[in-house]
Amino acid sequence: MTKARSPEMEALVQRDSAQTLPLTLLLRHADRGPLPDGEPGNEVPLLPTGVKRALEFGQRLGSNLISVHTSPVLRCVQTAEALVQGAGVTLPIIPDQHLGDPGVYVIEGEIAWEAWQSMGHERVVAAIMQGAQLPGLADPMLATRELLRWMRDMSGGRAGVHVFVTHDLLVTAAAAHCLGQQLAIDQWPDFLECLALHDEGGRVRASYRGLSSIVERL
């Protein structure tokens, strides 16, 4: 495992190479307000600061941004819209439940929600990182592989930046599995942080928070 730039910097530095190679970003949505206690909070919108930051990130990506998929949850859709607006491009924004509501790690939403309520978000995410299969949830390692394969298929090998807007659970779990290590809570993604996946001589390199690793199996 080698040191690398932060995911956001990785995306910006690679804008030129993205003209000839695909760069995939599994991106946490922008800044939101607090979630209501005991509820998923799917209707909690972005804060004005979140919209502004997503616009600015989109401006940096510019015409290199060529596809955008998003969780159907409101704050993710708003992030995707701001990215496209900031980039100044005309692109369809494609909602997909791989990315949220329920997301690739959830099989039965009501049963999974019971695990969230009894264990709390941090313990559920920790269990998923460790590969433990909780009631209502998929096998975490298989779910990560499905997510990576799906993103690869959606990008279609097209050169440019492909953004998949999602939630902290998906970025945290996918990053942990790609890097082969558990992430402490202070390593979980902040708003607009991402797991970056890029082609490297026919292999896929995953980069997150200054760490990188080759993903052996997709």
Q: Name the residue with tokens 């924004």.
A: 93
Compute the distance between CA of residue 188 and CA of residue 168 in angstroms, rounded to an integer.
7
Q: Please report the pLDDT score of residue 43 as a whole number.
A: 82
Q: Counting runs of H as helices and runs of E as strands, what totals does the chain give?
A: 7, 8
Q: Please report the pLDDT score of residue 177 as a whole number.
A: 96
Does 113 reside within a domain? no
Structural domains counted in the chain? 1
pTM recorded for the entire structure: 0.91
**Cis status, amide bond into 40, omega within 30 of 0:** no
Does 210 reside within a domain? yes
pLDDT digits (tens, 9 = 90+) for 66-76: 999 999 999 99
Can you give the CATH number for the domain in which 37 is found? 3.40.50.1240
Q: Name the residue with tokens 């209707």.
A: 43
Q: For residues 215 and 81, which has the higher predicted lDDT (pLDDT)?
A: 81
Q: List, in sequence order, the alpha helices (H) in 65-200.
A: 74-87, 109-119, 121-130, 140-155, 168-179
Does 130 reside within a domain? no
Does 187 reside within a domain? yes
Does 16 reside within a domain? yes
Comparing 10-19, 38-47, 143-152, 153-162, the range with the smallest average pLDDT is 10-19
pLDDT digits (tens, 9 = 90+) for 98-108: 999 999 999 99
Mean pLDDT of the chain: 88
Whole domain around residue 64: which residue ranges? Answer: 2-104+138-215
Q: Please report the pLDDT score of residue 202 as a whole number.
A: 74
First-to-last C-alpha distance (Å) of the chain: 18
Quick check: 1 pLDDT over 50?
no
Does 72 reside within a domain? yes
Compute the distance between CA of residue 101 and CA of residue 176 in angstroms, rounded to an integer.
21
Quick check: 7 pLDDT over 70?
no
Does 186 reside within a domain? yes
How does DSSP classify residue 62? G
Q: For residues 33 and 76, which has the higher predicted lDDT (pLDDT)?
A: 76
